[in-house]
A and B are shown apart, each in its own frame.
Chain A
């Protein structure tokens, strides 16, 4: 615990020092990123200890704020989320200092300051064991990430993105504030330990759960609260997107899992809710990812989809609790937690890859790329592995998480009783559908960006990213591979977390987990066989072709005289059969100028897929709110004396309210 506090101190000091040396880019680089990397390495020690031994540490320091104690704790649940946070933050910091090279020194200093505060706040969120401390860290996290997103604040598009993010984050916080106030009122304290010891009355549980779902769901990106993700991610620098998507949105799930202990709801209700939320987020996230042409927006929607998959796993775990089936509990929660780690790794890889691509081509629009695998072999190969993991295909980490959840669904589905079987079946069919859609999304992303021919001149002149950037990508790609083959070990890390979440008897849980561990080792062997078979075929091909002609020619053009890169399939045309299948949902707008006459000269087709939930729910909603609030505008007139009067009146009102008999 003290090591973690030391890490926090180093991080914050580094951030402040970097900000003080405003004029020096080198200071921002070395003090800012250096302190972050050092602090993360330092923090990994207690985290690894907590995860491997399952120990719980608590620490309470006095704090001058009313009702608040600076109480921290490190248990398996926190440690499990801290692991990707620390590793990915360090990698993102290394990536970021090369990535942002072209920015001016003051901007870099500000960036270093906010990045360090962002990471520190996320760590504090995970360690906080007091409502006040939790909310404050949460707020610092949101604000710091707002400033990180709006690094290029001169651009109007980025300002809008920043505002949407800020509003979404604060609506979420409002729900959390209400949640914590209600919890605090019912137990008379803001300490988590008190809330855990005296759960809120059952009558309140429904309200509390709804507030938690709204508040934390906004951060996690549950549909339809996800609207800030596809706006904020493209605006932010890539390594910040990687951190936000890889780690920060997971903190929403952490918050949900943490507060579920503070009130008791029947596990069956939780199971059904999580599965419904997961299906909605997973399927609509994947369908919306299909229709995107901006790579970072596509990745943002894919994050929504993956959060859905994790929610499906959690839902299965709760179903298992409801039917007291330990196998289902372990498969559901274990699969969800495994997929959480896995998503953190491959999504960071893909976002950082998108950053390298943006550097090389000056755009994130996939329709302008193409043929980049030849120009950027390292970035391309790493992206290939990330895409394979994102599709959930063997032999990478992506498959293992989905394997566990699908296995859980099969297990739950063959249990007697429709109340448990039906949601399990929904998870099975839904997850496979999501997986198949993810397959389309990522074959599209990889295929259109890296394969074929360059669609624009900028992509033709692209070159491989600098060494530090490709190095970070290579580390993450290796992690994807390693997590696929060492899945049983990674899975064993989730066991103490499951024990903490479900209060299940440890020996029984260990038995169950050991069985699944064996299964995962078999799976790793099967992966090895698969790679072995591919290698054998590679050898066979090599042997067959030795001494034979291996010619190069143009792609077969069907006798056409002039084949140009513009004739290739584009990102939109590749998914057109599917987007037209889902047109009722996507509402793609089409502008068409059809060719006319016997010798048509011009024709054009423009398609644009709007953010459906944003346009159909939030825009009308906020218009109504703005209209209602505009009625109150007479209160605002700019006369300071009257404003002072308002304050005095409010204070007097509060005083009388407090002093009433």
Chain B
């Protein structure tokens, strides 16, 4: 239990650093020096010390959105094990709550965006929810395949069971799942090739445009929540793809952190070598992810 709590706090503490690593990777590929590793921490610190300006159009929904989003992500982080270290909260079917936590966060942020009555934010909300409709079933088929491979009911049972003994039997499925989860991760977190986290004022943007009107602590909650969401999904990917799950907490922690570094580099490299897709290509990308997931599932049916 202590280990689980430590892991949870470590997730909370390191999520902004994860964004820092991605940014530095992108800077490296672009031949720039890049912002400091800890820039996101500085940003959060700055935002937490500011006041807020709220639009006159808005209501309590606008203020609730960021809190709901962050609370859901804090909850999701508590449901995810680190290798062999079980999660702080584990019960049969916890993966369903895990996945619905993302939907709850989205419900909050999308309504907060619509609350401003701005066409910018309306556009962001419309696109965010459009992508989620395509990504959510894929994500669930991935989770379902994990259950079918391991015959375990909870995430804390599923993840440790994805050990080196399972890989010879279900390796192909797991690799396909890794591909599908990676695409879902990119889409859900508004990374290139779906959305560009660096553009604030272009019409293809999705996540960034939804939060235009948030300021101060509200924006800090949103930025931190988004970082945590990326961290949680990346940690799930590491859990699925890395077969080594040492029993000692230190070993599991080290494997997890190394894996996270790998995912951060992979995201950074993807963003560096790819351009953003045209908006109408995004369903096709998610369809590919769905194809991977479905194939993985069919392979488990043998």
Contact = CB atoms under 8 A, between A and B. Distances in A.
- Asked if A and B are interacting partners, one says yes
Interface of A: 370-371, 373-374, 380, 384, 388, 391-394, 399, 403, 406-407, 409-411, 413-414, 418, 421-422, 425, 428-429, 432-433, 435-437, 439-440, 443, 446-448, 450-453, 519, 522-523, 526, 529-530, 533-534, 536-538, 540-541, 544-545, 548-558, 563, 565, 567-569, 573-578, 581
The 9 A-B pairs at the shortest CB distance, nearest first, are namely A569-B122, A452-B117, A447-B114, A549-B51, A533-B71, A548-B51, A577-B130, A555-B55, A534-B71
Given A394-B97, A545-B216, 4 more contacts: A436-B103, A439-B129, A537-B221, A555-B58
A82 B186 CA distance: 48
A563 B122 CA distance: 14
A416 B60 CA distance: 50
B15 to A, nearest CB: 15
B127 A577 contact: yes
Nearest to B283: A581
Nearest to B89: A526
B93 A567 contact: no
Contacts of B56: 552-555
Interface string B53-64: 111111111010
A569 B91 contact: no
Contacts of B71: 530, 533-534, 536-537
A486 B12 CA distance: 31
Contact of A541 (B67, B104, B111): B67
Contacts of A439: 103, 106-107, 129, 132-133
Contact of A371 (B53, B106, B117, B153): B117
A556 B213 contact: yes
A428 B119 CA distance: 35
B96 interface: yes
Interface in B106-145: 106-107, 110-111, 114-120, 122-123, 125-127, 129-130, 132-133, 136-137, 140-141, 143-144
13 contacts: A371-B57, A392-B100, A435-B136, A439-B132, A443-B110, A443-B129, A519-B93, A526-B75, A530-B71, A538-B67, A545-B216, A569-B125, A569-B126
Nearest to B94: A526
Contacts of B110: 443, 447
B203 to A, nearest CB: 11
A449 B201 CA distance: 27
Nearest to A440: B129
A555 B127 CA distance: 20
Contacts of B72: 530
Contacts of A526: 75, 89, 91, 97
Contacts of A576: 126
B116 A425 contact: no
A522 B48 CA distance: 34
A406 B96 CA distance: 8
A578 B130 contact: yes
B114 A451 contact: yes
Contacts of A384: 61
Interface of B: 48, 50-61, 63, 67-68, 70-72, 74-75, 78, 89, 91-93, 96-97, 99-101, 103-104, 106-107, 110-111, 114-120, 122-123, 125-127, 129-130, 132-133, 136-137, 140-141, 143-144, 147-148, 151, 153, 201, 212-213, 216-218, 221, 279, 283, 297, 301
A384 to B, nearest CB: 7
Given A429-B141, A519-B93, A537 B101 contact: no
A534 B68 contact: yes
A439 B153 CA distance: 26
Contacts of A565: 117
B127 A373 contact: no
Contacts of B140: 406, 428-429, 432
A566 to B, nearest CB: 10
Residue among B75, B117, B119, B129 with the highest chain A CB neighbour number at 10 A: B117
Contacts of A538: 67
B93 A406 contact: yes
Given A436-B137, A533-B74, A577-B130, A451 B111 contact: yes
Contact of B103 (A393, A429, A452): A393
A56 B3 CA distance: 53
B122 A443 contact: no
A519 B92 contact: yes
Contact of B118 (A391, A411, A557): A557
Contacts of B106: 439
B190 to A, nearest CB: 15
Contacts of A569: 114, 119, 122-123, 125-126
Given A414-B151, A437-B133, A565-B117, A573 B103 contact: no
A544 B216 CA distance: 10
Contacts of A393: 100, 103-104, 107
A460 to B, nearest CB: 13
A309 to B, nearest CB: 14
Best-buried of B57, B101, B130 by chain A (most CB within 10 Å): B57
A565 B117 CA distance: 7
Contacts of A380: 59
Nearest to B120: A558
Nearest to B147: A410
Contact of A552 (B53, B107, B283): B53
B55 A568 contact: no
Contacts of B59: 373-374, 380, 450-451
Nearest to A549: B51
Contacts of B75: 526, 529-530, 533
B126 to A, nearest CB: 5
A555 B132 CA distance: 26
Nearest to B294: A429
B148 A414 contact: yes
Contacts of B100: 392-394, 399, 403
Given A414-B147, A439-B132, A541-B218, A451 B53 contact: no
A556 B122 contact: no
B93 A556 contact: no
B48 A567 contact: no
Contacts of A575: 126
Contact of B117 (A388, A552, A555, A577): A555
Given A418-B301, A436-B103, A526-B97, A429 B114 contact: no
A534 B54 CA distance: 20
Contact of B107 (A407, A413, A443, A540): A443
Given A429-B137, A541-B217, A552-B54, A370 B103 contact: no
A178 B107 CA distance: 47
Given A409-B144, A414-B151, A533-B75, A545 B51 contact: yes
B70 A537 contact: yes
A452 B53 CA distance: 17
Nearest to B225: A537
Nearest to A542: B217
B1 to A, nearest CB: 15
A538 to B, nearest CB: 6
B144 A413 contact: yes
Nearest to A393: B104
Given A428-B140, A569-B114, A574-B122, A403 B93 contact: yes
A448 B100 CA distance: 23
Most buried by B among A394, A410, A440, A529: A410
A420 to B, nearest CB: 11
